[in-house]
C-alpha cells in the first residue's frame, strides 16, 4: 500500500523514536510505502523540502508553538489549506491507499477528504486528544458566551473529522466509551482501541550504571528518586504539583527530579527559587536518548493530570517509564483509565489529583516497600500491551 501520514509532529526521519515513527516503521518493515507531510515552523527559517528520499515532506507553516495565541490561532487555521496545496504539488503522482492522521489537530478534515476523493483511499484517525472539550475542562474556552462561538466552531470541525474517518483508533477503552457516548451518530464498529505504542527496547541499566548516572546529574544515591518528565502546562496542573512537593517535604527518603518545559513551569521555578527545597531538582528538556538513560537511574515515574478533566487522557510518557522498567505513580482525574491500567498491571499506584495528602501517602508507601516486583512487571506489561509490532498487526487499518 501507499500510505500518507499527516502530522503536526516536526520530525526529520522515520528512524526517530516516538509513538508515530515507531508505528510507521512497522508499515515500512511490512513492505508498505510510507509518505508523510510534517511541518517546520516559520521561526526555524527552513524552506519546504524533502527528506527520506522524497517521502518525507517538510512543509513550512506559520508558528504554532511557543508563540502568542493570535499567531497560533491564525497559523492553525492555515494548516489545512497548506497541507492540501502541498499534497497537490508534491504528491500529484502518488495514489494513496490509506491516509493516517492524529489529533491534535482536528483541522485535517478537508485534507483527508481531498485524498479520499482523489485516490479512493481509506482513512484512519489515531485519536490522541479530544478537542475542544479538553480546552473547556481547563477553562480555556467555554460553551457559552463569546468563547462559546469558538467552541461551536471547533466542535463542528471535530465532528466532521470523525465523519470523514473510516476508522477511529482510540488510546483505551475509556476513550472508546467517551467518543461513542458524546457522538452517538458514530457507528460502534467504526471505533477500536489503538493504544500509544513504541518499538520496545529494554532501557534498564545496572546498579553500577545507575549510581554513575545519578552522580552525573547531581542526584542522591541513597534516596528513592521520583522522576517526572514532559510537558509542564495547564493539563498537568503545575500549582497542584507544587502543593504535592510541599506536602512531601518531610519524607526523608524521597527525592524528586522534574524535567521539562511548558507554560506553567514558572510555578515550579518560583517554588524552588523561593523555598529552596532540598528534595527537588529541576531540569530543562533533555535530549531523548540522554533522557531515557536519566529515567533509568531513577526509581518511580510520575504522571500528573488536572482533576478537572472530563475526557480520558492517556499520557504517552507512561511508555518511557515502562521502557526503563520503572513502576509508575499516577495522580490524575477519575475519568482516565491510565490508573486502572497501572494498578491492574501490578506496576504502580494511582490516586486522584484533588488531594495532595493522598499523593504524599503513596510516596511514603513507595519509600517503605520493596518495589522490585513492580519493576519487573512494568517492562513485561509494556511488551504485552504497547508494542508497535503488536498494535500494527491487531489494528484494522483498512
Q: How far apart are CA 257 and CA 208, in angstroms?
A: 20
For residue 338, the tally of other CB atoms under 10 A from its CB is 23
> What is the pTM assigned to this prediction?
0.92
**Domain limits of the chain?**
2-194, 207-385
pLDDT tens string 200-251? 998 888 889 999 999 999 999 999 999 999 899 999 999 999 999 999 998 9
Q: How far apart are CA 195 and CA 197, in angstroms?
A: 6
Domains 2-194 and 207-385 share a fold: yes
Closest CA relative to residue 107, chosen from 70, 58, 143, 74 = 74
Q: How far apart are CA 246 and CA 359, in angstroms?
A: 11
The pLDDT score that the predictor gives to residue 62 is: 87
Q: All 3 cell numbers of residue 196?
A: 500509544
Q: How far apart are CA 316 and CA 300, in angstroms?
A: 16
The pLDDT score that the predictor gives to residue 20 is: 96
Three-state DSSP state, 99: strand
Q: How far apart are CA 367 and CA 372, in angstroms?
A: 12
Burial 322-333 (b: 16+ CB within 10 A, else e): bbbbbbbbbbbb
Q: What topology is assigned to 207-385 in CATH?
A: Rossmann fold (3.40.50)
Chain length of the chain = 398
**What radius of gyration do the chain's Cα atoms show?**
21
The pLDDT score that the predictor gives to residue 146 is: 87
Tell me the helices (H) and strands (E) count for the chain, helix number first: 15, 14
The pLDDT score that the predictor gives to residue 200 is: 93
The pLDDT score that the predictor gives to residue 354 is: 94
pLDDT tens string 296-330? 999 999 999 999 999 999 999 999 999 999 999 99
Q: Cα 398 from chain centroid?
A: 25
The pLDDT score that the predictor gives to residue 70 is: 79
The pLDDT score that the predictor gives to residue 181 is: 97
The pLDDT score that the predictor gives to residue 288 is: 80
Q: How far apart are CA 323 and CA 382, in angstroms?
A: 7
Q: How far apart are CA 340 and CA 345, in angstroms?
A: 8
| Phi and psi based region of residue 328 (left: phi greater than 0; alpha: psi -120 to 50; beta: remaining) | beta
Is the domain covering 2-194 a CATH 2.40.160.150 domain?
no
Closest CA relative to residue 232, chosen from 329, 326, 304, 330 = 304
What is the residue-wise DSSP string for 250-279? T-TTEEEEEE---TTHHHHHHHHHHH--TT
Q: How far apart are CA 127 and CA 130, in angstroms?
A: 7
Ranges of residues in the chain whose predicted pLDDT is under 50? none
The pLDDT score that the predictor gives to residue 104 is: 83
N-term to C-term CA, the chain: 10
Phi, psi of 120 (to 5 degrees): 55, 45
**Residue 34 bridge partners (DSSP):** 3
Amino acid at each position: 500500500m501507499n500510505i500518507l501520514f499527516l502530522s503536526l509532529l516536526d520530525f526529520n526521519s522515520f528512524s526517530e523514536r516516538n509513538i508515530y515513527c515507531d508505528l510507521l516503521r512497522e508499515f515500512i518493515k511490512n513492505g508498505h510505502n510510507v509518505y508523510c507531510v510534517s511541518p517546520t515552523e516559520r521561526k526555524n527559517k527552513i524552506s519546504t523540502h524533502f527528506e527520506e528520499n522524497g517521502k518525507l515532506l517538510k512543509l513550512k507553516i506559520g508558528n504554532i508553538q511557543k508563540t502568542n495565541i493570535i499567531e497560533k490561532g491564525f497559523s492553525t487555521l492555515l494548516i489545512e489549506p497548506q497541507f492540501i496545496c502541498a499534497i497537490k504539488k508534491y504528491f500529484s503522482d502518488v495514489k494513496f491507499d490509506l491516509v493516517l492522521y492524529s489529533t491534535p489537530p482536528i483541522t485535517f478534515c478537508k485534507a483527508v477528504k481531498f485524498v479520499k476523493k482523489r485516490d479512493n483511499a481509506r482513512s484512519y484517525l489515531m485519536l490522541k486528544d479530544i478537542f475542544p472539550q479538553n480546552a473547556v475542562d481547563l477553562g480555556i474556552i467555554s460553551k457559552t458566551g463569546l468563547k462559546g462561538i469558538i467552541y461551536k466552531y471547533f466542535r463542528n470541525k471535530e465532528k466532521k473529522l470523525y465523519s470523514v474517518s473510516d476508522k477511529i483508533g482510540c488510546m483505551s477503552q475509556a476513550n472508546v466509551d467517551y467518543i461513542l457516548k458524546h457522538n452517538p451518530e458514530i457507528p460502534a464498529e467504526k471505533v477500536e482501541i489503538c493504544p500509544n505504542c513504541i518499538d520496545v527496547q529494554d532501557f534498564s541499566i545496572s546498579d553500577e550504571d545507575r549510581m554513575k548516572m545519578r552522580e552525573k546529574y547531581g542526584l542522591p544515591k541513597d534516596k528513592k528518586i521520583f522522576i517526572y518528565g514532559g510537558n509542564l502546562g495547564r493539563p498537568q496542573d503545575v500549582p497542584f504539583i507544587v502543593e504535592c512537593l510541599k506536602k512531601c517535604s518531610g519524607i526523608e527518603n524521597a527525592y524528586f527530579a522534574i524535567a521539562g518545559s511548558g507554560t506553567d513551569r514558572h510555578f515550579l521555578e518560583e517554588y524552588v527559587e523561593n523555598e529552596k527545597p532540598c528534595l527537588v531538582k529541576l531540569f530543562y528538556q533533555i535530549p531523548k536518548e540522554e533522557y531515557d538513560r536519566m529515567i533509568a537511574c531513577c526509581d518511580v515515574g510520575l504522571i500528573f493530570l488536572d482533576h478537572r478533566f472530563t475526557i480520558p487522557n492517556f499520557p504517552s510518557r507512561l511508555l518511557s517509564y515502562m521502557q526503563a522498567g520503572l513502576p509508575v505513580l499516577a495522580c490524575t482525574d477519575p475519568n482516565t483509565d491510565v490508573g486502572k491500567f497501572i494498578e491492574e498491571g501490578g506496576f504502580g499506584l494511582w490516586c486522584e489529583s484533588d488531594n495532595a495528602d493522598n499523593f504524599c501517602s503513596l510516596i511514603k508507601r513507595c519509600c517503605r516497600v520493596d518495589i522490585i516486583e513492580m519493576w519487573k512487571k512494568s517492562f513485561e506489561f509494556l511488551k504485552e500491551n504497547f508494542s508497535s509490532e503488536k498494535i500494527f498487526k491487531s489494528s484494522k487499518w483498512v
